[in-house]
Amino acid sequence: MRKSILTVSTLLLAITAFSQLTTVPDGGNKKAFVGERIGITDVTIHYDRPGVKKREGEIWGKLVHTGFIKQDFGNQKEAPWRAGANENTTIEFSTPVSIEGKPLPAGRYGLFIAYGPDECTVVFNKNSTSWGSYYYEAGEDALRVKVKPVAIDKSVEWLKYEFIDQTNTSATVALEWEKLMVPFRIDVDYIPLQLESFRRELRGEKSFNPGWQSWNQAAIFCLQNDVNLEEGLSWAETSVNNRFFGDKNFESMSTLADLMKKLNRNREGDSVMQAALPFGNEVQVHTYARQLVKMKKAKEAFDIFKYNYDRHPNSYTTNMGMTRGYSALGNYKKALEFANKAYAINPGGQEKQNVEKVIKMLQEGKDVN
């Protein structure tokens, strides 16, 4: 039998190859990641943070080279700056996005910047696994966008990325280092993405666990954003009437009623809302009546306030409801009578301040709604 002989040099080679211990990055650069959710789109950036290290005035255009250059190491092709230190800076999107108005599919990209004092090119490259930009290939670019660098007053010692100017459908990613910021804007097509997500999730476990709440949530989204109303109505009907998990309660039925009215099926909507009232607690019914007041439906609102009062006559909430109901009808004398009843219940804190304000307004002949 032949015996294998492990020499000292072979052993050292094996140790070098397989025992890379975890240490801080080369040069003292800091490893970092930052992320944010825009709508339902997750955006994550992984990068290493070089420091200025007393090199003020030597960063942009010098340490960070201008444009695309051939580097001493790698494939010797013209390449942009790695937008950080050490290995690739990467950016990942969980859904398709738009960068500075240009579409980019979901995925993970190498992030590079070709710096210029008046204009920078931000590059999203399909290769996200190479070291720095030494093996950059322009043919692998998924997108390039032009942006303007912005001077900043306070010097940033360690390079950083942050999300600024956030909205429900957009945010700006800002690279900041020394006294310069390179920003680029990300936009997401939030509503179609959200609807697509609802359709997918309502075919899985979330369609029956927690059940009616999931379908109601999707229906409310359609109602609040005035989109996809017919499908939203079908989701609301499922929330109320499904034989396995549908539930007739004030919340589910009022959503159904509101969608019916949105689609000009007012008589059906009113009928569903009347059927929902016995399921509502005094706060839910009061809130619904106040919505009717805002819609200038004073008589309908008063009837709901009265229904709530008859069920809970000794409640601060329902007495204030009668106050608002009479005030909406222009009967300030009766409104003041119920405001005084609400005050006699001896509310505390903010409620006491509110009723005192209401009483003063009614004494001056003003509508409290």
Q: Based on the fold, state whether residues 148 and 118 are members of the same structural domain.
A: yes
Q: Based on the fold, state whether residues 211 and 252 are members of the same structural domain.
A: yes
In a domain, 14, yes or no: no
Reduce the DSSP state of residue 120 to 3 states and report it: strand
Q: Based on the fold, state whether residues 176 and 213 are members of the same structural domain.
A: no
CA distance 211 to 242: 9
Q: Based on the fold, state whether residues 183 and 226 are members of the same structural domain.
A: no
CA distance 247 to 241: 7
Reduce the DSSP state of residue 275 to 3 states and report it: helix
Q: DSSP letter at 116?
A: -
Boundary (domain end) residue, out of 156, 172, 188: 188
Q: Based on the fold, state whether residues 222 and 174 are members of the same structural domain.
A: no
CB 117 within 8 A of CB 138: no
Of 282, 227, 221, 298, give the one whose Cα is nearest residue 250.
Answer: 282
369 residues of the chain, pLDDT tens digit each: 444 444 444 444 444 444 567 776 666 778 999 999 999 999 999 999 999 999 999 999 999 999 999 998 888 899 999 999 999 999 999 999 999 999 999 999 999 999 999 999 999 999 999 988 999 999 999 999 999 999 999 999 999 999 999 999 999 999 999 999 999 999 999 999 999 999 999 999 999 888 999 999 999 999 999 999 999 999 999 999 999 999 999 999 999 999 999 999 999 999 999 999 999 999 999 999 999 999 999 999 999 999 999 999 999 999 999 999 999 999 999 999 999 999 999 888 899 999 999 999 999 999 999
- Structural domain including 172 reads 27-188
Half-sphere exposure of 1 (CA within 13 A, CB side): 2
Q: How far is CA 159 from CA 32, 44, 117, 194, in A?
A: 10, 16, 18, 34
In a domain, 356, yes or no: yes
CA distance 271 to 264: 13
How much of the chain is in helix, strand and coil states, percent to nearest 5? 40, 25, 35
Q: Give the chain's domain count.
A: 2
The residue type found at 19 is: S
Type and span of the H or E element at 305: helix 298-311
* CA angle centred on 56, ends 50 and 58, rounded to 5°: 80
Interval 184-216: pLDDT, tens: 999 999 999 999 999 999 999 999 888 999 999
Backbone Cα Rg of the chain: 32
Output the six-digit token pair for 315.
Answer: 């409640």
Q: Based on the fold, state whether residues 353 and 211 are members of the same structural domain.
A: yes
**pTM for this prediction:** 0.81
Phi, psi angle pair for 135, to nearest 5°:
-115, 25
CB 49 within 8 A of CB 82: no
Question: Which pLDDT score, from 0 to 100, does residue 29 have?
Answer: 76
Q: How many helices (H) and strands (E) does the chain have?
A: 11, 12
CATH of the domain at 254: 1.25.40.10
